[in-house]
Structure formats: C-alpha cells, structure tokens
Amino acid sequence: MVRWEPDSRGRLVQAAMILYGEQGFDRTTVAEISERAGLTERTFFRHFTDKREVLFFGAQALQELLVNTVVNAPASTTPIEAVTRALEGAGALFGERREYSVQRQRIINGSAELQERELIKLASLAAALADALRQRGVTEPTAALTGEVAIAIFKTSFERWVTSSQPSDLGQLVRDSLDQLRVIAAAT
C-alpha cells in the first residue's frame, strides 16, 4: 500500500535546503533529509538520484524552456535576440523564487563538487542553445559563439541578481547585459 504523500518532492527540497544551509552540503546525508521531511529514503530516491540532484532537478525544464523559446521565435528574430528573449523568459520564472535561488547559490558556492555540476549544466545549456539556433538555420561560427555568449550573459546577470542587496528583476538584468555586450563589442 502506497501512502499518499502530499508534495513529497517539495518537502524533500525544503528539508535539504535547510540542512545544506545549516551543516553544509558535504556533511548532509539522504537519510537526514528524508527524516527531516518525514519521509522514507525510498521516497527520496523516487524523486532524486542523489542529494546533489535536489539542487539541479530544474535544469532539464529550464533547458527545454530556453530551447523552445529560441526554436519558436519569429523568423525575423536575430540569433542574439532569440537567446536573450529566452533568458528573459527564464528570468521571469526564477523571479518567483529569488529567496530559494539566493540560498541555492550560497550552498553551491560552498562546495567544489556542486560548482562543477553547475558549470556542466551551463555548458550543456550553451550547446543546447547553439543547437536550437542551428535548427533556425543559423550557421557556424555564429551558432556556437552565440550559445556561449548567451551563457556569459546569463551567468553574470544571475550572479548580479542573487548578490544584489536591492530587489532587482532578472529579466531586466539580462537586457542590461545585452546592452553592455553591445558597448563592449563595439569598443574596438
């Protein structure tokens, strides 16, 4: 008999975030997370492959959102516009959970293993965006470079967003970064 567990995934995430924040990622076990959430380890492993995935389970959905936005942008949209619009769309999603994002970033900054995972995620995003641009008929080297530049914009905007003392809008920071990129690139 399977017990009904309302939002067990959400409870596991919440418990993990508290424990990672209190005692560090490295020193927290799946057993502790499950216990704190009032669930079994078996339930934990129905939702996540390991304790690291608690912090990265949204990555696939983010990538799909970005890729779909790029692929479905109007034909007249330029490559950099297409990726920037995708990032703005993602910014709106993140905007609803700034507190979670700030805490997540703090946990990631405290663990070399998590930083590696974050870098791999960003590298896959760059490759996926470049592929999405190729689907729009964008050729090399524009597709690959625009994918990497999009991640440069996202990484710096996101960092400003989670470290700013004032409330700010991630989508706006992405647009500001694109303006900045234009100034940087033209200054030669």
Residues that bind a second copy (CB under 8 A): 78-81, 115-116, 119-120, 123, 140-142, 144-146, 148-149, 151-153, 155-156, 159-160, 176-178, 180-188
- For the chain, the 3-state helix, strand and coil shares in percent, each to the nearest 5, are 75, 0, 25
- Select 41 or 81, whichever has its Cβ closest to a second copy: 81
Identify which of residues 15 and 80 has a Cβ nearer to a second copy in the complex.
80
Of 37 and 118, CB closest to a second copy: 118
- Smallest gap from Cβ 142 to a second copy, in A, equals 6
Q: Which is nearer to a second copy, 18 or 145 (CB)?
A: 145
> How far is it, in rounded angstroms, from Cα 127 to Cα 132?
9
How many CB atoms within 10 Å of residue 17?
A: 18
CB of 186 to a second copy, least distance (A): 7
Minimum CB–partner distance for residue 10 and a second copy (Å):
30
CB of 171 to a second copy, least distance (A): 15
Could you tell me the two tokens for 72? 């479905």
Burial category of 7 from C-beta neighbours within 10 Å (exposed 0-12, middle 13-18, buried 19 and up): exposed
CA distance readout (Å), 146 to 11, 21, 91, 134: 38, 35, 18, 11
